[in-house]
Each structure stands twice: as C-alpha cells, then as structure tokens.
Amino acid sequence: MRHHLLLWLCLLLAPAAIAQNPPCSISVPAIHLGTYAGSRVATGVTPVSVVCPPSTSYTIGLRSNAGGASNSVRAMRGSRGAKLNYQLFQDAAHSVNWGSEIGTDVVAGVGTGSVQRFNIYPVLLQGQPSPQGEYTDAVTVSVTSNRGTYSVNVPVIANATGLCVVLSTSMAFGSYGGSAIASTSTISLTCTANITYDIALSAGTTTGATPSARKMAGPNGGMLSYGLYRDAAMTLNWGATSGSDTLTGVATGLLQPITVYGKIPAGQIVPIGNYSDSITATITY
C-alpha cells in the first residue's frame, strides 16, 4: 500500500512542478492597412497583448514571410505577383522600425504576470503604382524569453484602388511676329495598369479665357490668343468637359508620354513683350 501512495504523490507533484515555469504568450489581431490610393497611409494601430510571468525579461519580434530577419521595408503581394510595400514601427512617430533582430529592432519588456500591451504602427509607402485589388502578407510575431519562444502568424491586409502620377513640360512658342506658330508639350502619365483615365485642361489664368478660347497675358493689358489640341492636326480642342473635349485612355502601368499640341493663330496685333499663361491638367480615374 505504501508504494501506491508514493506513486500517487509523484503524479500529483509532477504537474505542479511544470506549472511553475510556463512560457510567455502573445496575441495579435490582423493588421489592416486600409485602402491605398497612392498617398502615404499611416493612420492605423494594431495592439499586441503579452503575458509573461513576473520578472521575466522578454523580447517581441516581427518577421515578415516575404523578408529576412531585418524587415525595414516589407511587401504584400497581390494578383500576378504585384507588390505593395509597407513598414511596421514601434512608435507613433514612425521612426523606429519593428523587426526581429534582438538588440537591434525588437521591443523588450519585463513580465508582470498580467496582460501588457504594445502597439504596432503600420505605414503604406506613397507613390506605388500597384494594380487594383487586395494585397496580403503574414507576419510572425514572437515573444522570446528564457522560458522559450511563443509565436503567432498575423495576416497583413490592404486594398489598392489605383494610382496616377503626372508630370508635364512647358510649352514654349518662341517669338511671335504675326504668322501662326505651333509648339508642343508633354504630359508624362504613370497610372496603375488597366485604370481608365480622363485628362482635362483648364481654361488658364488669363481673364476672359475659356477652354476653347485661351489667352496669354502680356504687357499693357495685351492678350495673345492660342489653342491647345489633342491631335497633331490641331482640329480637336483639348478642354475640361468630360465626354466632350477631354482625353481618355487606359493605363498600361508604365510611363505614357502624352503630347499636347498648341498653336497661336496668325494675324494678331499685340503690344511687344512676354506673354504667358498657366494651365492646370486634371487627371480623373
């Protein structure tokens, strides 16, 4: 009977000895970065909840499935391998990267036996011509202490709505002596692939001008009439009424140079001097 009693005591004591050395635990919800339209997105916060035994030192690391140990710029993937870059920070100022290299970019803490909370501050980088659609990644969040490592996989999700980036060159007509002269300028357009865009040109800044009767302003109230066109023959006015006199197209995802054709009609008598105007190009997509 005495041997049976000792056996039962061992069975009861063994679980108690193991329970005195539990690992830390961690929980993190999905990281939602919201909707991306080309501008920097830095508004979300994702909480990290950690429970470690009292006085237990620990570190929390974030490792992206798409990168190595030091993840300063991470990548979500969309359809056909499309990429959308993002970053994860330890601070609201988005200045301290949160990676997985101990002693470099992890978060450190000391357990209290209760839940301790930290925040992940995600950022979507601006100016990415990523195709429309959903982008995902997965981050392994690990809490490491002398009691071992506990990890969870956390989804990272964003939706891209498309982006257009536009640059333009000046249109220089040169010297006008009464004869008609023509010139061109270039709108350099880069939009997310398959986006339909519409480009409108304003009337300009000269008093009394319209999209179909533009004017450059000069000295002594002088005005020099000119036109802007969508075609090399200069028969299609380029205005600001969608569906009527704007230019539409479908983006390729690459830079698309678009020519603006300009002409100053002959026979204008104006004061000598420099003439100029400023046109606003509006891209709708």
pLDDT tens, 223-243? 999 999 999 999 999 999 999
> 23-160 and 164-284: same fold?
yes
Pick the CATH number of 164-284 from 3.40.50.300, 3.40.50.720, 1.20.1260.10, 2.60.40.1090: 2.60.40.1090
Percent of the chain whose predicted confidence (pLDDT) is above 90? 74
pLDDT at 66: 58
Q: Where exactly are the structural domains of the chain?
A: 23-160, 164-284
Question: Mean pLDDT across the chain, nearest whole number?
Answer: 89
Q: Read off the pLDDT band of 75 (50, 70, 90).
A: very high
Tell me the pLDDT tens digit for each residue of 114-173. 999 999 999 999 888 788 889 999 999 999 999 999 999 999 999 998 778 899 999 999
Of residues 21 and 78, more confidence is placed in: 78
DSSP letters, the chain, are -HHHHHHHHHHHHHHHHHHTSPPPEEE---EEEEEESSS-B----EEEEEE--TT-EEEEEEEETTS-S--SSEEEE-GGG-EEEEEEESSTTS-SB--S-TTTT-EEEE--SSEEEEEEEEEEPS---PPSEEEEEEEEEEEEETTEEEEEEEEEEEEE---EEEEE--------SSS-EEEEEEEEEEE-TT-EEEEEE---SSTT-BTTBEEEE-GGG-EEEEEEESSTTS-SB--S-TTTTSEEEE--SSEEEEEEEEEEPS-----SS--B----EEEE-
Query: What pTM did the predictor assign?
Result: 0.62
pLDDT at 281: 96
Top CATH class, 23-160: mainly beta
